[in-house]
């Protein structure tokens, strides 16, 4: 009886969240309450097909003539995407792809990548999104660990793919010249049957990979069955149906991938380019009347670094949302973006494992630049000390734990994140302000102990970036015989700018405690980053 009562209480506790989620989806236009038939079909599609093909099916049902995708080859309607992915799914099936298959995708952002995702989902196969920045050993290790049975890739990655086992069924998604001996997706689609397929018995699911900044990336599987999950993004980010979203963040990254699904579900056009180009991004915003731009902070910096003359050539007035995630957005960079594009910054904090944790709205950013905001509906964040005890109070630092309906259930190799009170460790250290807004002070493994004092690099890095002429900065701890570790700063300057080491040290000393002043300052042309813009701190140590 006690177990029954516990279940009833748990269910009752979820009802307010569910009702609030429905209201969020209604405001976004995802749940038209005047069309209960549409709502029911949407729920069935997501539950049976999964979030990728389910979202596309919802959009095609709503208005099949609407433009679903624009890439460098032009536009495709939702109907065209649906039919082309039907033909591709049938062609895959004829070549042995089943619900038991693992379809790996190593591709830039274009229609072939999207159609592969849709086709795999329609067959109930598992989809594995590969990082385009992989080296050959990483690719081979991940493919073996995840049990890849089918490989889809762009022609530019042929040298990497040649290291995979011979005989692995492979198909080309993007062709740069006439290939020999490899079938292209366009061939399969052109010669395929585009009639609808039977629903799979179970949705196939997907595996996203962690950033892999410290070794071979881990696989974080996802299984999303509830259409209410979209509310976690839409609660604090005002995306609306029938608009246009430009994904500068790559599709294999959790940021780009999540917003691709949300945009499809909203029936909004998704604008893609194979490679990020800051000025081409501005042109695409103008040409497609883009309302939401999704990117990582390093991309945003490159756009702003074009300068007012270049930016002013393009009409970006349609932008209502600049959505950043994937790495820390410094106060200086966020403030620069607000001055150029208006109050449109929405700074999301999360991870591949946790998904959404918090979102800072433009109002949050205006009040507290640098914040990652508050948890949206269905999400929870808490701070704990090293002993696992709750940390409370404004400004008190603790380990960040988060939970949501989109959190993963463990890595594909059987390992898991630390869990406290049902919440997952994010691996970060942070604090809350008096209004409950979260700030990330740094990675728990990035903490530097210098002379017995704990130092988190982010505070110093943000201060350095705010200095005139400094574009990027990273601070590391290096071995020191007297203090255990001393601080070393790596700095990138604007072209044509001269800044002395002593200037930067004096700037830090004026604003922070003495023990936070870097002993060494190294100037670099750029900081080493991976394909999703995350700083490769260990690579910095190799640079001296």
Per-residue pLDDT of the chain (544 residues; tens, 9 = 90+): 455 444 444 444 556 777 777 777 777 776 665 555 555 666 676 677 777 888 788 777 777 789 999 999 999 999 999 999 999 999 999 999 999 999 999 999 999 999 999 999 999 999 999 989 888 888 999 999 999 999 999 999 999 999 999 889 999 999 988 777 889 999 999 999 999 999 898 888 888 777 654 456 666 555 555 556 777 788 899 999 899 999 999 999 888 998 998 998 888 999 999 999 999 999 999 999 999 999 999 899 999 999 999 999 999 999 999 999 988 898 999 999 999 999 999 999 987 777 789 999 999 999 999 999 999 988 899 999 989 999 989 999 999 999 876 655 555 555 556 889 988 888 888 999 999 999 998 887 777 877 777 788 888 998 999 999 999 999 988 887 777 788 999 999 988 888 999 999 999 998 888 888 999 999 999 998 877 777 888 788 777 6
Is 302 a domain residue? no
End of a domain among 229, 260, 275? 275
Which CATH number does the domain housing residue 96 bear?
A: 3.40.50.12780
Q: What are the Cα distances from residue 200, in Å, to 92, 99, 507? A: 14, 8, 61
Domain-located, residue 288: no
512 with 466: CB under 8 angstroms? no
d(CA 299, CA 534): 11
pLDDT score recorded for residue 8: 41
User: In whole angstroms, how far apart are CA 297 and each of 261, 273, 392, 479?
Assistant: 21, 18, 30, 30
pLDDT at 233: 81
**Distances 250 to 63, 195, 296, 533 between C-alpha atoms, Å:** 26, 30, 9, 10
Q: Which two tokens stand for residue 544?
A: 């001296």
Domain annotation covers residue 372: no
Question: So what's the pLDDT on residue 407?
Answer: 56
Write out the two tokens for 536.
Answer: 């490769």
Long-range contacts made by residues 341-349, C-beta under 8 angstroms, separation at least 24?
341/316, 344/319, 344/320, 346/236, 346/237, 346/321, 346/322, 347/371, 347/372, 347/373, 348/233, 348/237, 348/255, 348/323, 348/324, 348/372, 349/325, 349/373, 349/438, 349/440
Domain CATH code at residue 490: 3.30.300.30
What CA–CA distance (Å, rounded) separates 16 from 20? 6
Task: Give the DSSP letter string of 425-481.
Answer: EEEEEEEE-TTS-EEEEEEGGG-EEETTEEE-HHHHHHHHHTSTTEEEEEEEEEEET
Q: What are phi and psi of 373, to 5 degrees?
A: 85, -150
- Residue 335: name the closest of 352, 317, 322, 319 by CA: 322
Q: Which helix (H) or strand (E) holds 120?
A: helix 111-123
Whole-number Cα distances in Å, 374 to 235, 247, 391: 11, 24, 17
Residues paired with 430 in a beta bridge: 398, 440
231, 257, 275: which is the final residue of a domain? 275
Quote helix, strand, coil % in the chain, to nearest 5. 35, 25, 40
What per-residue confidence (pLDDT) applies to 217? 66
Give residue 12's pLDDT: 45
Q: Which helix (H) or strand (E) holds 382?
A: strand 379-384
Structure-block tokens of residue 217:
């990336």
Q: Is residue 190 part of a domain?
A: yes
**DSSP string computed for 250-266:** -TTSHHHHHHHHHHHHT
Predicted TM-score of the model (pTM): 0.84
pLDDT score of 211: 61
Domain count, the chain: 2
DSSP 219-252: EEEE----GGGGHHHHTTS---TT-EEEE-S-TT
Report the 3 state secondary structure along 126-160: EEEECCCCCCHHHHHHHHHHCCCCEEEECHHHHHH
Do the beta carbons of residue 199 and residue 49 sit within 8 Å? yes
Q: Where a domain ends, among 228, 243, 275?
A: 275
Query: Does 281 fall in a domain?
Result: no
Domain with 453, as residue range(s), is 447-542
- Structure-token pair, residue 539: 């690579």
Residue 89 domain-assigned?
Answer: yes
Q: What is the pLDDT of residue 41?
A: 65
Tell whether 31 is covered by a domain.
yes
Let me know if residue 114 belongs to a domain.
yes
């Amino acid at each position: 009886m006690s177990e029954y009562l516990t279940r009833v209480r748990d269910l009752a506790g979820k009802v307010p969240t569910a009702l609030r989620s429905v209201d969020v989806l209604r405001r976004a236009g995802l749940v038209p309450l005047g069309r209960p038939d549409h709502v029911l079909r949407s729920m069935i599609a997501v539950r049976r097909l999964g979030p990728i093909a389910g979202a596309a099916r919802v959009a095609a049902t709503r208005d099949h003539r609407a433009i679903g995708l624009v890439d460098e080859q032009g536009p495709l309607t939702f109907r065209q995407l649906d039919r082309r992915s039907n033909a591709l799914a049938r062609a895959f099936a004829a070549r042995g792809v089943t619900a038991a298959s693992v379809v790996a995708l190593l591709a830039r952002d274009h229609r072939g990548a999207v159609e592969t995702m849709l086709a795999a989902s329609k067959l109930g196969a598992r989809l594995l999104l590969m990082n385009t920045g992989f080296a050959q050993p990483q690719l081979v290790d991940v493919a073996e660990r995840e049990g890849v049975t089918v490989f889809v890739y762009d022609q530019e990655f042929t040298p990497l793919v040649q290291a995979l086992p011979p005989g692995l069924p492979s198909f080309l998604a993007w062709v740069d010249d006439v290939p020999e001996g490899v079938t292209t997706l366009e061939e399969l689609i052109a010669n395929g049957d585009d009639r609808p397929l039977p629903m799979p018995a179970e949705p196939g699911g997907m595996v996203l990979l962690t950033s892999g900044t410290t070794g071979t990336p881990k696989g974080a599987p996802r299984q999303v069955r509830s259409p209410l999950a979209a509310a976690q993004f839409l609660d604090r980010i005002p995306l609306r149906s029938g608009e246009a979203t430009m994904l500068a963040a790559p599709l294999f990254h959790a940021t780009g991938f999540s917003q691709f699904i949300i945009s499809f579900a909203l029936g909004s056009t998704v604008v893609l380019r194979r490679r990020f180009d800051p000025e081409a991004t501005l042109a695409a915003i103008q040409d497609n009347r883009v309302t939401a731009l999704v990117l990582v902070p390093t991309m945003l910096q490159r756009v702003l670094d074009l300068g007012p003359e270049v930016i002013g050539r393009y009409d970006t007035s349609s932008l209502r949302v600049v959505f950043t995630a994937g790495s820390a957005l410094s106060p200086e960079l966020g403030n620069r973006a607000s001055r150029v594009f208006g109050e449109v910054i929405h700074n999301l904090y999360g991870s591949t494992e946790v998904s959404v944790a918090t979102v800072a709205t433009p109002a949050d950013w205006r009040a507290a630049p640098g914040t990652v905001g508050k948890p949206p509906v269905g999400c929870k964040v808490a701070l704990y000390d090293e002993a696992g005890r709750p940390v409370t109070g404004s400004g008190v630092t603790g380990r960040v734990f988060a939970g949501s309906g989109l959190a993963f259930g463990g890595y594909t190799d059987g390992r898991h994140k630390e869990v406290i009170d049902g919440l997952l460790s994010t691996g970060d250290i942070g604090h809350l302000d008096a209004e409950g807004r979260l700030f990330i002070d740094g990675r728990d493994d990035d903490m530097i102990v210098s002379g017995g004092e704990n130092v988190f690099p982010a505070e110093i890095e943000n201060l350095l970036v705010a200095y005139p002429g400094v574009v990027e900065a990273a601070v590391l701890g290096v071995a020191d015989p007297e203090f255990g570790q001393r601080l070393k700063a790596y700095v990138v300057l604007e072209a044509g700018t001269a800044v002395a080491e002593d200037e930067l040290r004096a700037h830090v000393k004026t604003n922070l405690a003495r023990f936070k002043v870097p002993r060494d300052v190294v100037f670099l042309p750029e900081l080493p980053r991976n394909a999703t813009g995350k700083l490769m701190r260990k690579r910095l140590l190799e640079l001296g």
